[in-house]
Structure 1
Amino acid sequence: MSHSPAQAGFEFADFNTIPGVPCPCGTARRAFADVADFPGTIHLTTISTEAQTHYHKRLTETYVILECGPEAALELDGKRVAVQPGVSVMIRPGTRHRAVGEMQVLIVCLPKFDPADEWFD
């Protein structure tokens, strides 16, 4: 959700005011979905311990780990990769993935997020 005038050279989003929506990872707050000239969306996502393995056929997601516990990891095509704050991981279409452990992540999604492109085995 942007809050700047259409004629401005920028868009502004306040994740504190964007409602969270359930997702396979936990709860996502998605910004810039309504900005026609921006090719993606930015998500502030709170990962829960119940994150589900899923994949996308079209979307590329780049996770930026903001906060996590010492045992946090991403599971990518069945392989567990340890993560820590400051780490970024690009996840290409077709890669089965889930986060392991509670964490706060910023996700850059290209093209724009589409809930119809969430797939489960």
Structure 2
Amino acid sequence: MNSTPSIKGYEVVDFATIPGVPCPCGTAKRGLAEVDDYPGTIHVTEISTDAKIHYHKKLTETYFFLECGEDAQMQLDDEIIPVHPGMCIMIRPGTRHRALGKMKIVNIVLPKFDPADEWFD
């Protein structure tokens, strides 16, 4: 009898156990990077007030805002957009972006996050 290993039908990520890493926005905890059959990564990111404007050539990011100050905003190319908890912004490759003000987001990144795809002017 020939048997193949089975894969569970789910993955569990406990962000409390993932160490934060510096990123242009602040500190990110990145999950699902090592899961081969998941096409992206999920990040919980604490954004600092000094986020750096950057862009990606291949990555699409979707920011879901969990927490933000009353004056929180996103710079998307030359536009400034006010944001608040419960909002979501999808950011296509090539769009220069940064957060203005402190906030906490969930960032869904497709395809998987690649630190070599962070570009600065």
**1:119 maps onto 2:116 in alignment:** no
Q: What value does the CA root-mean-square deviation take over the aligned residues?
A: 0.7
Amino acid at match of 1:19: P
Size of the aligned set, in residue pairs, is 116
| TM-score of the pair, normalised by structure 1 | 0.95
1:9: Cα distance to partner? 0.4
1:43: Cα distance to partner? 0.2
When Rg is computed on C-alpha atoms for both structures, the one with the higher figure is 2
Look up the SS of the partner of 1:105 in the other structure.
strand
Which residue in 2 is equivalent to 1:18? 18
**1:64 maps onto 2:64 in alignment:** yes
1:8: Cα distance to partner? 1.0
1:78: Cα distance to partner? 2.0
1:7: Cα distance to partner? 2.2
Amino acid at match of 2:101: G
| Gap runs ≥5 in structure 1 | 1-5
The percent identity for this pair of structures is 63
Counting only pairs closer than 5 Å after superposition, residues 1-121 of structure 1 correspond to structure 2 as: 7-121=7-121
Once the two structures are superposed, residues 49-87 of structure 1 have per-residue CA deviations (whole angstroms, 9 ceiling, x without a partner) of 110000000000000000000000000002100000000
| Gap runs ≥5 in structure 2 | 1-5
| TM-score of the pair, normalised by structure 2 | 0.95
In structure 1, C-alpha distance between the alignment counterparts of 2:55 and 2:98, rounded to whole Å: 9
Amino acid at match of 1:35: V
1:35: Cα distance to partner? 0.1
Look up the SS of the partner of 1:104 in the other structure.
strand
Q: Which runs of 4+ in 1 moved over 2 A?
A: none
Which residue in 2 is equivalent to 1:3? none
